[in-house]
Amino acid sequence: MDAVRKSISHLIMRHPQVSDSSPNRREFLDNSVRNAAGIAAGVLAMERTSRAHPSSREQLRLGMIGLGDQGQKHVQTLQAIDSATITAICDVDGRNLALAQHQIVEDQGTRPIAITQYEKLLERNDVDAVVISTPDHWHAQMVIDACQAGKHVYLEQPVGHSIIEGEQMCSAARESGTLVQTGLPQRSAAHYQSAINVLRAGTIGPIHHVKAWAVHRRKSIGHGTPTSSPRGVDYMRWLGSAPKRDFQSNRFHRNWPWFWDYGSGELGIWGVHMLDVARWGLGVDTPERVLALGGMRHFDDDRETPDTLQVLYRFGNIDVCWEHRQWSQHGIEGRMSGTAFYGADGTLIVDRSGWKVYGHNEQLYADASEMKLAHMQNFLDAVRGLTELNANIMEGHLSAAMCHWGNMSFLQNRELQIDPKTRQVKNM
């Protein structure tokens, strides 16, 4: 019961640490310097320059913070963009740093400096913008620091680890004037955009119900025991503001989303994307009521977040239903993940493979379009002043909040009533 109360409190009230003078923060930095000694040996740093704001014809200089699976994918995406250069990389895991640096040298021909302290990366004059792909519990602090340093940000979803963190990031971006693109690549995909246009045109009539889902067969993470952290990993810095505890391998790389201290479960992995499409298609912001039911139905392991969950969101007279199963391969509407809009004159179903309208007198459909490269390009073009962001921090926050409310309802085992204007839970 204490663990449940703690998780609920975290979802509502979690604040990022913003003090540079706290003893814990100094301790983290000292540990990072010691751990970085072996990593930095033999590393050639690119020279700093005095240019902080590139023109539309200059190369954008990027810093990568977090080089796990998602960070490595962003590195690969950026190699296809000639107008951007990765000048600095940061991770608390020396192996991730070494692998990323080697790959970037091979692909772009220049060597980025490798850093274990993201604050040092933000101080560099040869970094115009940063791409943040760390575990969720670090997002808010890094974004706030980046905004205060005048760096534009591409941030993975969910944007924050709680609703209040999302609000704080929106404020930081607004006050600093920096751009923050959130990792919702569907917003830059041509086939998703055309699907939204079909909905907005009223093609399927009034929409009465929306369903979003993710059905995957994930692996068990087993039962772990505390051990010493791997060599070259600054584990205390990885924990950051999360509760201090001994290292446990099945709570670390790839598995951290299944623990409340660091992630938001399947809602934070797939839910934020598919629910964002639902919100986008309906043109709505905040639900009035949220009710979640689910639990651990299949796995017997250390994960804390539910492997089976349904969440019902009420927007006026429209219900949006989320469902996930982490132990099945039989998806909904014939698709492993997606969003379905049920209208009086037809049903539109869209996922990353395309969209199609059913029950209509016309054959309406579109095949998949590229989205990850398009989304990153949109961010870079916005930094140059050539366009608007397709998924700004407020849009990301509103979609992430839906995930946090769903998790809160699950943990409290009750319906939440929300004020759409203030985004506050009224029946706490």
Global pTM?
0.88
What was the pLDDT predicted at 56? 53
Indicate whether 153 pLDDT > 90. Answer: yes
Query: At 21, is the pLDDT very low, low, confident or very high (cuts 50, 70, 90)?
Result: very low
What was the pLDDT predicted at 26? 39
Indicate whether 130 pLDDT > 60. Answer: yes
CATH number at residue 109: 3.40.50.720
What was the pLDDT predicted at 9? 54
| 376 is a domain residue | no
Indicate whether 414 pLDDT > 50. Answer: yes
Query: At 428, is the pLDDT very low, low, confident or very high (cuts 50, 70, 90)?
Result: confident
Segment 369-385 shows an average pLDDT of 97
3-state secondary structure of 260: coil
Segment 175-194 shows an average pLDDT of 98
Query: At 317, is the pLDDT very low, low, confident or very high (cuts 50, 70, 90)?
Result: very high
The residue out of 167, 183, 199 marking a domain boundary is: 183
Same domain, 192 and 310: yes
Q: Are 403 and 269 within 8 A, CB to CB?
A: no
| 92 is a domain residue | yes
Indicate whether 136 pLDDT > 90. Answer: yes
Q: Does the N-terminal peptide bond of residue 257 adopt cis geometry, omega within 30 degrees of 0?
A: no
Q: Which two tokens stand for residue 77?
A: 């995406």
How far, rounded to the nearest angstrom, does the alpha carbon of residue 359 sit from its chain's CA centroid? 35
Same domain, 38 and 60: yes
**Residue 355 or residue 428, greater confidence:** 355
The residue out of 124, 149, 183 marking a domain boundary is: 183
DSSP 186: G
Same domain, 164 and 274: no
Number of domains in the chain: 2
Q: Indicate the average pLDDT of the chain.
A: 89
Indicate whether 260 pLDDT > 80. Answer: yes
Percent of the chain surpassing pLDDT 70 = 87
Indicate whether 176 pLDDT > 90. Answer: yes
- Per-residue pLDDT tens over the stretch 188-199: 999 999 999 999
Question: How deeply is 283 buried, as exposed, middle or buried, from its count of CB atoms within 10 A (0-12, 13-18, 19+)?
Answer: exposed
The residue out of 163, 183, 203 marking a domain boundary is: 183
| 58 is a domain residue | yes
| 42 is a domain residue | yes
Q: Which domain holds residue 419?
A: 187-369+392-425
Question: How deeply is 224 buried, as exposed, middle or buried, from its count of CB atoms within 10 A (0-12, 13-18, 19+)?
Answer: middle
Query: At 34, is the pLDDT very low, low, confident or very high (cuts 50, 70, 90)?
Result: very low
How far, rounded to the nearest angstrom, does the alpha carbon of residue 226 sit from its chain's CA centroid? 28
What was the pLDDT predicted at 376? 98
Segment 394-398 shows an average pLDDT of 98
What was the pLDDT predicted at 59? 87
| 7 is a domain residue | no
Q: Which of 6-15, 77-86, 419-428 is the most confident on average?
A: 77-86
- Per-residue pLDDT tens over the stretch 324-333: 999 999 999 9
Query: At 60, is the pLDDT very low, low, confident or very high (cuts 50, 70, 90)?
Result: very high
Query: At 27, is the pLDDT very low, low, confident or very high (cuts 50, 70, 90)?
Result: very low
Indicate whether 48 pLDDT > 80. Answer: no
